[in-house]
Chains A and B, each alone.
Chain A
Amino acid sequence: MEGRLANSWRLTVNDKNFIKTALLSEIRIDGRKPFEFRKISIKFGREDGSSEVQLGQTRVMGMVTAQLVQPYRDRPKEGILSIFTEFSPMADPSFEPGRPGELAVELGRIVDRGLRESRAVDTESLCILAGKFVWAIRIDLHILDNGGNLVDAANIAALAALLTFRRPECSLGGEDGQEVIVHPPEIREPLPLTVHHLPIAISFGFFSNESILVIDPTHNEEAVMGGRMTTTVNANGDICAIQKSGGEGVPRRVIMQCLQLATSKAASITKQIKDAVEVFNTERALRKIKRHPTSTGNDVREKQN
């Protein structure tokens, strides 16, 4: 059953030519301009650290969990950040369950590089007892619907989940101060993570005729394009990572153009993420006030079955 020709999806030659011809007149098949991003919607789940991002038709869910572990030997005072990407078979009929394929690994690495090496998440504040106990933050990214440009959506989901995640507060105790006591969330309010800046990934697609450039390619455009590049920049104008693996060569000025575009888009996306997180935090605070259910008319003894 695996690998049967009938089961694989292919874009027809007519579709491909249509997309390419339309791009020559700067028209994209979903009506956008070449440098226009799709609509981003960021939603959060009930728990802290769970986000769902929709970028046009692409849908990604992010979950952040934390565990106390022993730190790496060569970094005894730093916490651990790990990213797991799941290309769920529900996103695309060609995604197989089981071990992540190349695309999943590449996506994971791009998001990882943006967060870890630019020191966006402060890992030193995750250390509780140097050499013995640190927090290991695990980010799970589930791709639910593949509408193109999974990297950008996954990155936003990871950032949104990290900003709303709260880790339990813990203190040192025991006779020699070597024991770690983790306080449950009902006793002590859990703490948010320290995130210094938000690295936003912006992807570009290159097409062979007349070096046409588009931002945020859709699924159909990805099947047609000759090369892709993902730049991770933050709102301050710092470049956190650039990934261009193979594909056709592009001249220098095109790369500079991409970087400039990316910086301007990053500012607006950062604002959107921060606004959504604000709304979630206010709701969360309100929910805490209403924690005990007020006594409603429980005297009505109607049999609800």
Chain B
Amino acid sequence: MEVDREDGRSQNQLRPLACSRNILHRAHGSASWSQGDTKVLAAVYGPKAGTKKNENPEKACIEVIWKPKTGQIGKPEKEYEMILERTLESICILTVNPNTTTSIIVQVVNDDGALLPSAINAACMALVDAGIPMKHLAVAICCCLAKSGYVILDPTKLEEQKMKAFAYLVFPNSVRSVLPEGSLRVEGEPIENGIITSVTHGIMSVADYFYCLERGRAASVKLSDFLRRNLQQQSTDSSKAG
């Protein structure tokens, strides 16, 4: 089915991605991620001594602070903070630095659709920049379901508002490993078929949801490649001066 999107993209086409690391000087790690016009800045400080109250001191703790572009911090921002926290807790190796807190601060620079996935991607890159130990990276994508039943990826803000339902999906990144094939499987399936986080808004049928998952997983392979190229490039030509 041919779909007409306003900016001329096809159904499964992502917006142009741009990412840069190590942009802030005081933060231990920082990254800026933009998908089309949506731009998010993430900074990482950590690990700091001590955990928050009532947190398990045998593990590291992750704290996320979400800063919107303008206005007060309200319930939607708190929800984003919680989703980010739980997603990042599942990818970081928490037993390496027990009784510490790593803070991740996310600043929204511009919101043009798919804000939460951009924030998750930016936070991941910032964690890599800071050198926080992680099991694997997370790639996030937004899939929308329109009233007529077709699925589009990476919507702009206008498209998001017109859609019947949309889902933010976070997958582990695709693995390229020197270890033999069998060791990176979880219950017989390759690790990148798993799903870390899924947040849906609106009504969608089960079949549509699985279709979204499939499209999202395919797109996450492209995102993983982009991440890998970006990280490799920057690690060869960067020189940190103190």
| Chain A residues with a Cβ under 8 A of chain B | 1, 4, 6-7, 45-47, 50, 52, 57, 59, 61, 63, 65, 86, 88-93, 97, 138, 140, 142, 144-147, 219, 293, 295-296, 298, 303-305
Task: Answer yes or no: B109 CB below 8 A from chain A CBs.
Answer: yes
Known contacts being A63-B69, A305-B218, is A90 close to B43, with CB within 8 Å?
Answer: yes
Known contacts being A4-B49, A4-B50, is A145 close to B67, with CB within 8 Å?
Answer: no
Known contacts being A304-B13, A305-B222, is A45 close to B43, with CB within 8 Å?
Answer: no
Residue contacts A-B, CB under 8 angstroms, 30 given: A1-B49, A7-B48, A45-B109, A46-B110, A47-B110, A52-B109, A57-B26, A63-B69, A65-B70, A86-B67, A89-B45, A89-B105, A90-B24, A90-B27, A90-B30, A90-B41, A90-B107, A91-B24, A91-B26, A140-B70, A142-B107, A144-B24, A145-B24, A145-B25, A146-B26, A147-B25, A293-B7, A304-B10, A305-B215, A305-B219
Task: Answer yes or no: B101 CB below 8 A from chain A CBs.
Answer: yes
Give the one of B26, B45, B52 with max A CB within 10 A.
B26
Of all chain B residues, the one with the shortest Cβ separation from A46 is B37
| Chain B residues with a Cβ under 8 A of chain A | 7-8, 10, 12-13, 24-27, 30, 37, 39, 41, 43, 45, 48-52, 65, 67, 69-70, 101, 103, 105, 107, 109-110, 112, 215, 218-219, 222
Q: Chain B interface mostly helix, strand, loop or mixed?
A: mixed
Chain A neighbourhood of B25, CB < 8 A: 57, 145, 147
By Cβ-Cβ distance, the 6 closest A-B pairs, closest first, are A1-B50, A90-B43, A90-B105, A305-B12, A6-B49, A305-B218
CA distance A105 to B12 in the complex (A): 47
Apart from A7-B48, A145-B27, list 8 A-B contacts with CB within 8 A.
A6-B49, A57-B25, A61-B109, A140-B69, A146-B26, A298-B10, A304-B10, A305-B218
